[in-house]
Amino acid sequence: MNKAIDQIIVSLSRALKNDSITATGVASPLPMIAILLAQKTKKIKYLNCIGAINPKLKNIPPSSDHVSILENKESFIKLPELWDYALKGKIETMFFSATQIDKFGNLNITCIGDYKKPKVKLPGPAGSITLRNLCKNCIVTCLNHTKRVFVEKVDFITNGSDKPTIVITNLGILKLGKKPKLISAHFHSNVEEIIENTGFRLKIPKKVEITKTPTEKEMKLLQKIDPTNVRRSLLK
Amino acid sequence: MKILPLHKAIEQIKNNSLIAYSGMQLNRAPIAAIHEIIRQNKKDLNIVSIPNPLAADLLIGAGCVSSAKLGFNGFSYEDGFVISPNWRKAAENKKIELYETDIFEILQGLKASSLGLKEIEVPGFKNTDYIEINKYKKTKNGIITKAIKPDFALIHAQAADKQGNVFIDDPLIENLLVKASKNIIITAEKTTELKKITIPKSQRDLGMKMTKEKITSVSAVKKGAFPTSCFKFYDYHLNHIRGYIKYSKQDNFKSYLDEFVFGTKNHDEFIKKVEEK
C-alpha cells in the first residue's frame, strides 16, 4: 500500500500543469501533498480552503483543513473567494474522491441506499457539486479500488461532469465517461487485478501501458516534503 | 451592543431560531456558545453552516436541532476520516430534517441576504441528484436558491473591545455572516482595546475588523473555541476529539453530555475537566 500511496501522490502531482491554479477542499490530505510536490518543480498557485494561498508547510498536517496551514502563507483567502476563482474559470485542477464511482464518472458521497432512507449516510458534497462543474480539470482519487467502489450505477449522484473524468486509484489510472477505459496499470498491479476489481466493463487497450513509476528525484522531493511519512499514517 | 456573560448572551436565543456559526472543520468553532445552548436546553433550532463537524454534531446529538442545512459532516484528523457520528445517526433515523447541499449554495444564500435579495443564482450547480431532492428552480448554468437570513450568528473571535469592535485573524466567512444575520453573538479570546492588539506588520492586512453597529453582544470567553483550535491561540485538543468520537460512536453520547456539558457550569469548568483527564 505504501508504494500505491506514493504512486498516487506522484501521479496527481504530474497531472498539475505548470503556471496554473489549483485548490483543495476539506479532508484532502493526499492531494495537498501532491500539490506541494508539484510546486517543487512547477509554478503553481495553491488555494487551500482553510484560508491560505500558497501555504508553506514545515510539517504535513493530518488534514488539508488544519489550522497550522494558516501559519505561514503568501496571503489569506476567504472561502467565497475560492468560488470567485472557480467562477472565472481560473482553477485549472481540483481533486475529488468518493465512496462510490460509476462508469460515467459520477461520484457518490451522499448515501448508500435510498436518500430518504439511507443505509449509510455519507458526509455530503462539501463544495463538490459546483466545483466539479466550474473547474477545468477534475481528478478523482481512490485508495481502495474495489467492486464496492466502482459500481455500474451510483446510489446517488452527488456530483457529475459533462466531461470525461480521470480517476487515479491504488491499482491504475482510468478514464470514465461515455466510453470508460483503462489508461494504465500501476507497476505493482496488473490488468487482471483492475478488471477483477471494477464493477463495470472497461475498454482495455491492446497494449496496456504501465504507469510511469515515481522517479528517484520525485521520491527524494516527496521524502523532503513529508519526512515523517504522514501520508502513510492517514490510511487507517 | 452589550457586554454580557456568555450565559446571558445565549439566553437571547429563542427556540425555533435559525442559527449560523463560524468555524471551519476543527478550527475556531464557537464551542463555548454551543455548549451553553445545550445547557440551556434550547429546542427546535434550525442550523446552517459551512463544514464544522463538532458544533453541528454536538447540537444534533443533544437534541437541540430540528433542521440542518449543511454541506459536509466529518472529522478529518490524525486518525483519518470519521463521518460525524451523531449527525449520521440522526440522518439515518430521520431524527432531523436534512437539507443537504453544496457549500456554495449556503454561501450564495448568505450573500443574497447580505445584499437584501430574496433569491440568487448558484452557478455550476448541475449534474447532481440534489436538484431533484431539494426541488430547485433551474437556470441555464445552475439553480436559484433563497436568501438565508440567520436569526443569530455565533462567532468566536480572537479579540473584541468594549465598544463592540471585533478582530478576527482568519475571517473565512465572517463578513458574510455579519451582513446576512439579524443578531450577532460574539465570544472572544481577549476583550481589550483593539489598539493594543499586536499583529505582525506583515499580516496586518489579513484580519477583519467589524464595527459595533452590527454586534448584538460580546462575551469574553478564554479558549472559547476549545476543544477546536483557534488560529494564533491554540491547537485542537486531539485526545478530547478522540474521546468525543469514541463516546458518540458507542451510543454513549448521553454520558458524554452529562459529564462534559451538563456536568460543568461553564466553559472554564469544561476546560479544567478536559485537561484533568
Dihedral Cα B192, B197, B203, B205, nearest 10 deg = 60
User: How many residues make up chain A in this entry?
Assistant: 236
Per-residue pLDDT of A147-194, as tens digits, reads: 999 999 999 999 999 999 999 999 999 999 999 999 999 999 999 999
Task: Please check the confidence at residue B128 and state whether its pLDDT lies above 50.
Answer: yes
Locate cell 461553564: which residue? B266
Percent of chain B past pLDDT 90, that is, above it, reads: 84
Bridge partners of B18, per DSSP, are B46
Q: Which of B28, B83, B175 sits opposite A123 (nearest CB)?
A: B83
Q: Which of B72, B130, B171 sits opposite A26 (nearest CB)?
A: B72
Model pLDDT, residue B167 = 86
CB atoms within 10 A of CB B263: 13
Residue B67 φ/ψ, nearest 5 degrees = -140, 150
Q: Which residues of chain A make contact with B54, given a CB cutoff of 8 A?
A: none
Interchain CB contact of A162 with B (< 8 Å):
yes
Cβ–Cβ gap B26/A159 under 8 Å: no
Q: Which of A129, A134, A144 to mutate to test the interface with B (most CBs of B within 10 A)?
A: A129
CA–CA min distance B105, chain A (Å): 9
Helical pair A29-38 and A2-15, crossing angle rounded to 10 deg: 60
Locate cell 445517526: which residue? B89
Give the Cα separation of A194 and B241 in Å (integer): 38
What pLDDT band is residue B213 in, cutting at 50, 70 and 90? low
Model pLDDT, residue B205 = 41
Per-residue pLDDT of B138-196, as tens digits, reads: 999 999 999 999 999 999 999 888 777 888 989 999 989 999 999 999 999 988 765 56
Q: Which of B28, B81, B88 sits opposite A121 (nearest CB)?
A: B88
| Interface size, chain A vs chain B, as Cβ–Cβ contacts under 8 Å | 160
Q: Which of A5, A26, A56, A115 to mutate to test the interface with B (most CBs of B within 10 A)?
A: A26
Per-residue pLDDT of B37-89, as tens digits, reads: 999 999 999 999 999 999 999 999 999 999 999 999 999 999 999 999 999 99
Task: Please check the confidence at residue A236 and state whether its pLDDT lies above 70.
Answer: no
3-state SS string over chain A?
A: CHHHHHHHHHHHHHHCCCCEEEEECCCCHHHHHHHHHHCCCCCEEEEECCCEECCCCCCCCCCCCCHHHHCCCCEECCHHHHHHHHHCCCCCEEEECCCEEECCCCEECCEEECCCCEEEECCCCCCHHHHHHHCCEEEEEECCCCCCCEECCCCCCCECCCCCEEEEECCEEEEECCCCEEEEECCCCCHHHHHHCCCCCCECCCCCEECCCCCHHHHHHHHHHCCCCHHHHCCC
Q: Which residues of chain A make contact with B172, given a CB cutoff of 8 A?
A: 50-51, 78-79
Model pLDDT, residue B211 = 60
Interchain CB contact of A160 with B (< 8 Å):
yes
A137 contacts A93 by C-beta, under 8 angstroms: yes
Give the Cα separation of B128 and A75 in Å (integer): 33
Provide the whole-model pTM.
0.96
Model pLDDT, residue A2 = 86
Q: Which residues of chain B make contact with A96, given a CB cutoff of 8 A?
A: none
Percent of chain B past pLDDT 70, that is, above it, reads: 92
Per-residue pLDDT of A1-28, as tens digits, reads: 789 999 999 999 999 999 999 999 999 9
Binding-face residues of A in 35-94 toward B, CB within 8 A: 49-51, 62-68, 70, 75-76, 78-80, 83, 86-87
**Could you tell me which chain B residue has the CA closest to the CA of A162?**
B127
Provide mean pLDDT across the span A184-207. 97
Model pLDDT, residue B199 = 52
Per-residue pLDDT of B184-205, as tens digits, reads: 999 999 887 655 655 554 444 4
- Measured CA to CA in angstroms, residue B49 lies from A126, A199, B29 at distances of 11, 36, 11
**Could you tell me which chain A residue has the CA closest to the CA of B22?**
A79
Interchain CB contact of A31 with B (< 8 Å):
no
Per-residue pLDDT of B246-256, as tens digits, reads: 999 988 899 99
Alpha-helical runs (H) found in chain B: 6-11, 31-39, 53-61, 85-92, 103-114, 130-133, 174-180, 238-249, 253-256, 267-276
Cβ–Cβ gap B123/A87 under 8 Å: yes
Task: Please check the confidence at residue A137 and state whether its pLDDT lies above 80.
Answer: yes
Model pLDDT, residue B123 = 98
Cβ–Cβ gap B26/A65 under 8 Å: yes
Cβ–Cβ gap B128/A64 under 8 Å: no
CA–CA min distance B188, chain A (Å): 18
Q: What is the mean pLDDT of chain A?
A: 96
Interchain CB contact of A129 with B (< 8 Å):
yes
CA–CA min distance A192, chain B (Å): 30
Q: Is B54 helix (H, G, I), strand (E, B) or coil?
A: helix
Q: What is the DSSP letter of B24?
A: B
CA–CA min distance B11, chain A (Å): 30
Cβ–Cβ gap A63/B126 under 8 Å: no
Model pLDDT, residue B206 = 46
Give the Cα separation of A78 and B130 in Å (integer): 26
Task: Please check the confidence at residue A122 and state whether its pLDDT lies above 70.
Answer: yes
Task: Please check the confidence at residue B209 and state whether its pLDDT lies above 70.
Answer: no
